[in-house]
Structure formats: C-alpha cells, structure tokens
Amino acid sequence: MLEATDADLNVAEDTSILVYLECGSNENVTVDRFTGITSTASGVSFATSSAPVSPPIVDRNEDGITSHNDVVATEDLAALGLAILSVDGTNGVMTIRCLGTHGTDDKNHLTADGDTIHLSYRKGVVDTSAAVTGLGSVKVVSDADPTGVLVRHEKTTANSGVFRGAVFLNSSASTTSTFRCLVSSFFCSISETTTTPPDITLTANGTWSAGDLRVNSVDAVTLSYVDGSSAAPITRTATILVNPSASPTATPTPTPTSHPFPA
C-alpha cells in the first residue's frame, strides 16, 4: 500500500443552495443533508433548501477551523435580521439564527411570506492523483525495472488530504494491464486477476492492485511523487527494500526512508 499526503491536492468544491425560511424572533432553523421542509406544522419555525447540504463542509476562509464564518450569503444577513449561528462541517448542518420575525402568517409553510437567502460553502470531494505522468502523479520503480509503473491514488476521505493506492510486487514482469486481488472480500478472491481496471476506490483501500512491478529479492524500490505547481514541480521520493535484511543490487540515491510524502 502506497500513501501520499498533499494539502495542495485536498481540493474542495464551491457549492450554493437557496434557503427559504419562516421563523420567530430569536428562534433557530437548520438546513442539512436532507432537503425539504424541516417542519410542516403551522406556528413552527422551519427552513427548506433547494438542495441537500453536502458534507463535509470545509474551511473556506482557511483559519484552521470550520465555523459560521465558512458559510456566506449573497444577501446582507444583518439587514434581513438573520445570522449564521453555527456550522457542523462533519454532518453538514447549518443553523440559522432569526434575529427578527420572518413570515407574517404565524409560520404556516403553505403561505410563502418568509425570506429567501442564497448560501455558499465549500464541500470536500474525494479526488485522485494524476492518471498520467507529471504533476500530481505517483510512480514506483525498482532495480529490476527502472522504468516502473504509475500508481493512481485516491483520497481516503473527502477532506483528509491523504491519497492511497496499491501495487503488487512480483519477480516476472511489470504490467499496468493486469490487476490482482490482494485481499479476499465481497469483490474478489485473493490472487484473482483481471484485465478490467477495478474501481479506483478498491485500489485505494488495498483490495486490488493498480498493476505489477517487477522486483528481485534484493531490490530497492523507489516511490516518487511530483509535488508543487506546474510552474515549479518538485519530485519527492522515498525508498524501501524488498528484503530489508539483504543488500540491494544497486545503491540508490539517498532518500527519505519513510512515507507518506510531505505536502
């Protein structure tokens, strides 16, 4: 299993929702990952959104925490008598404080006389490392195969910044067209092979390999990750031994012996 940590690739997606609400002064309403009216009873504060909130809500203003400051409105909320009270980023819950009364018909959802606001936030996404050589790619080489293979990685969760992939080491030949089942599961039996590329999620969790890398028992295996920007890419490397107790067939260039790679 290979792992790379890179905050640069921990991208998020800007998302907007339309929120309609009716509430009394100093009452709270919420929108969350379930769209629709949160209460249908007359006289009860409620809010409804044009789309579900998609967790996780991530740190928009880059202050290191997810809070009410990470949800912004197109409208002037203070002028409307509204405020974002709190944000539960993990569960995708936004709580809106009603500083004044919104809806003159005793908060009856059947008569739309409340207020509508547009809220924007950033949601985490499960992205992948590059599919081809170059920026954001992960490559693995050995003494037996200095050309090596490219290993596609997937982010472990929507906001982890940690990318994982798997490669199988063998003594015959390297290939990126044969995939091996590494762990028996619902999806496959161990040692089963296929030429159909598995879902990248099953490669990232170690169920399938992303290909084979040819090695000898005394080889050094070097992992390289192209970090940084297209204007100034930096190749970061780490080296491991197939058999730590044996001497490698060639002396590799000194590199860090541990990974994940730094961001």
Q: What is the pLDDT of residues 120-149, one digit of tens each?
A: 999 988 888 887 888 888 999 999 999 999
Per residue in 220-235, is it b (16+ CB within 10 Å) or e — as a string? bbbbbbbbeeeeeeee
Rounded average pLDDT over 71-87:
96
Q: Are 166 and 203 in contact (CB under 8 A)?
A: yes
Joined tokens for residue 79: 């002028």
Rounded average pLDDT over 82-93:
95
Torsion angle of the four alpha carbons 9, 12, 13, 16, in this order, in degrees rounded to the nearest 10? -170
Question: Which three-class secondary structure string do you get for the chain?
Answer: CEEEECHHHCCEEEEEEEEEEEECCCEEEEECCCCCCCCCCCCCCEEEECCCCCCCECCCCCCCCCCHHHCEECCCHHHHCEEEEEEECCCCEEEEEECCCECCCCCCCCCCCCEEEEEEEEEECCCECCCCCCCCCEEEEECCCCCCEECCCEECCCCCCEEEECCEEECCCCECCCEEECCCCCCCCCCCEECCCCCHHHHHCCCECCCEEECCCCCEEEEEEEEECCCCEEEEEEEEECCCCCCCCCCCCCCCCCCCECC
Structure confidence at residue 181 (pLDDT): 95
Q: Are 13 and 57 in contact (CB under 8 A)?
A: no
Structure confidence at residue 158 (pLDDT): 80
Where does the pLDDT of residue 262 fall: very low under 50, low under 70, confident under 90, or very high at 90 and above? Answer: very low
Structure confidence at residue 260 (pLDDT): 47
Joined tokens for residue 86: 């709190």
Residue 28: pLDDT over 50: yes
Distance CA 35, CA 14 (A): 18
pLDDT in tens, 98-124: 999 888 665 666 667 789 999 999 998
Q: Are 215 and 144 in contact (CB under 8 A)?
A: yes
Where does the pLDDT of residue 61 fall: very low under 50, low under 70, confident under 90, or very high at 90 and above? Answer: confident
The residues, ordered by sequence, that sit 6+ positions from 234 with a Cβ below 8 Å of its Cβ are: 226, 227, 228
Residue 69: pLDDT over 80: yes
Report CA-CA distances (Å) from 112 to 16, 60, 73, 105, 133: 21, 32, 20, 9, 55
Radius of gyration of the chain (CA): 25
Distance CA 165, CA 154 (A): 7
Domain extent listing, the chain = 11-124, 128-241
Q: What percent of the chain has pLDDT over 90?
A: 48
Structure confidence at residue 26 (pLDDT): 93
Structure confidence at residue 263 (pLDDT): 44
Q: Are 220 and 143 in contact (CB under 8 A)?
A: yes
Where does the pLDDT of residue 259 fall: very low under 50, low under 70, confident under 90, or very high at 90 and above? Answer: very low
